[in-house]
Amino acid sequence: MRFRTALAALLLTGTTLIGSPAAAAAPVTIAYAQRTQAWQLVLTNGEVVEVPEALAKAPKDAVNAGVRAPFLVSGDGKHFLYFRKSDGLFVERTLNGKEKVVSRRLTAYTIDEEWPMVSDDGSYVVTSTSAPGVGIFADLRTGKVLPPPGHTDAWSFLGFSSDGKRLLLADDERLTVFDRGLRARMRLKTRLAPMALANDYITAATPVGTWPKYRKLRLLNLRTGRAKGTVTVQLPRGRYIDDLDFDQAGRVIVRSKTGTGVVIYRVSTATGKATLLRTIARPDAEAWVLPGDNPYEPWTERKSKASQE
């Protein structure tokens, strides 16, 4: 559930900023990925890069043959991850880099049974499973795949901190903040289920209401266990909190699906005021992925699962 500033040099209203001095000086990153017949990367300079080696659908021998294969872009817009056609392994790449296998345990056979999520810096992958529970914890910087904390998969993965240095997991009514080596740094017993962790590793944000029509949120202090009062986010009628996050400065960011794409707001946790940051128009593609998306956000497919319910 990560969305950062990879689009800042590209889209404010759906128009590419080609030729402006500011855009020319900015480093080129991935604005989004899209899939027509095959996966493509659309860069912040308007260039389109084909990724023909990425699976579009789960193969015939997979548990869920024919379903959409996950394709991820890290929140910083520098890394992309996919199941490759040659052997079905899940790999990570940068625009100018070589493929790096995340884990040989994560294969196309388990597509739609195991869901990968990547930190904003593209260097850590966690999977949730249909068990339910967690699967792998892969630190791409060290090349290590770590066993689940406590050697049990009975955890729910709630998210990374914005800087990718901490992981927030839940076990029944217990929240635990882990570092990248899966050493516990903080524990709290609570019934709340946060969706985001700030870079102070103490402040968490949780939506309030009934899924998927969240319009309220509250903050939780993981050190003291105190939760602030519920705040109603001042979204336009018919829009909801589809994704919740913190930016690098600790401000709450909300993404909301629209009929034509996604809008991103910065939200005051004191008043609920929602300040529009940008509007992103959906491309004419079968599926699309924004930097920081989980495998199946409400807007990723032309007709999402959420819209069909």
How far is the C-alpha of 137 from the C-alpha of 147, rounded, in Å? 7
What are the tokens at 196? 């985001």
Of residues 23 and 91, the one with the higher pLDDT is 91
pLDDT above 60: residue 23? no
pLDDT in tens, 177-199: 999 999 999 999 998 989 999 99
Domains of the chain, by residue range, sit at 21-192+283-303
Q: For residue 130, which phi and psi values (nearest 5 degrees)?
A: -80, 5
**Considering the chain, what is the average pLDDT of its residues?**
90
CA distances from 218 to 169, 173, 189, 196, 252 (A): 18, 17, 17, 11, 10
What are the tokens at 189? 């017993």
pLDDT in tens, 235-281: 999 999 999 999 999 999 999 999 999 999 999 999 999 999 999 99
pLDDT in tens, 54-85: 999 999 999 999 999 999 999 999 999 999 99
CB 297 within 8 A of CB 285: no
